[in-house]
Amino acid sequence: MAHVETVFLARENSAPMEEVDSVDAVDGGLSGDRYQTGRGYYSPYDVCEVTLIEGEAIDEIREEFGIDLTDGRHRRNIVTRGVEVHDLLHTTFRVGDALLRGTRPRPPCAHVEQVAGEEGVARALKNRRGGVCADVVEPGTIRAGDELKVVEENPRTMGRKIAERLGL
């Protein structure tokens, strides 16, 4: 089952990510997060309302690079488990009580490495490990442990999944 493993917020630019049990997804992002309040490093020019990263990608980074990002130094809001977050692009999905829509990839930048305080973090987050951005379609509460369910699939992703099931 695809689900939320962990939820993180940063209250302002470059502040450490704080693990929270739950957060309200509201118009413009996650309540109190740096980008929802306009205090993010890239505000107002390059804003992702909500960012998602795969727990499996964090595991791969720890194994391949010896870098442990489980403390939130990846700078993403929601850590998922059991879903390829790139499959959520241009897809509407429910997380807890909130409805989100995947908008674009969120590749790593030099700022993430600077804030993480460890060399190699940006490189480790490359190759589809950096996660994706999503917009809040309907407000609601998101909690660690909530199921993630696709509501409306991207036709390209759906076609690929059908082909995989049919062994094509």
- The DSSP annotation for 19-61 comes to EESEEEEETTEETT-TTTTT-STTTTTS--SEEEEEHHHHHHH
Whose tokens are 């850590």? That residue is 79
Output the pLDDT for position 168. Answer: 45
Return left, alpha or beta for 158; rule: phi > 0 is left, psi -120 to 50 is alpha, else beta: alpha
Answer whether residue 134 shows pLDDT above 90. Answer: yes
DSSP state of 83: S
CATH number for 38 = 2.40.33.20
pLDDT digits (tens, 9 = 90+) for 25-77: 999 999 999 888 877 766 666 778 999 999 999 999 999 999 999 999 888 99
Task: Please state the rounded mean pLDDT for residues 150-165.
Answer: 62
In this structure, the number of other CB atoms found within 10 A of the CB of residue 12 comes to 13
Round to whole Å and give the CA distance between 61 and 126.
10
Structural domain of 10:
3-165
Residue 112 CA to residue 97 CA, distance in Å, equals 29
The pLDDT of residue 140 is 98
Cα–Cα distance measured from residue 25 to residue 93, given in angstroms and rounded to the nearest whole number: 13
Q: Predicted confidence band at 110 (pLDDT cuts at 50, 70, 90)?
A: low
Most confident of 21-25, 113-117, 125-129, 149-153: 21-25
Higher pLDDT, 72 or 163: 72
pTM of this structure: 0.86
The fraction of the chain above a pLDDT of 70, given in percent, is 83
Q: Count the domains in the chain.
A: 1
The answer on pLDDT for 165 being more than 60 is no
Instruction: Tell me the average pLDDT of the chain.
Output: 86
Residue 55: the pLDDT is 97
96 or 15, higher pLDDT: 96
What pLDDT, on the 0 to 100 scale, is given for residue 154? 65
* Residues making up the chain, counted from first to last: 168
pLDDT of residue 152: 84
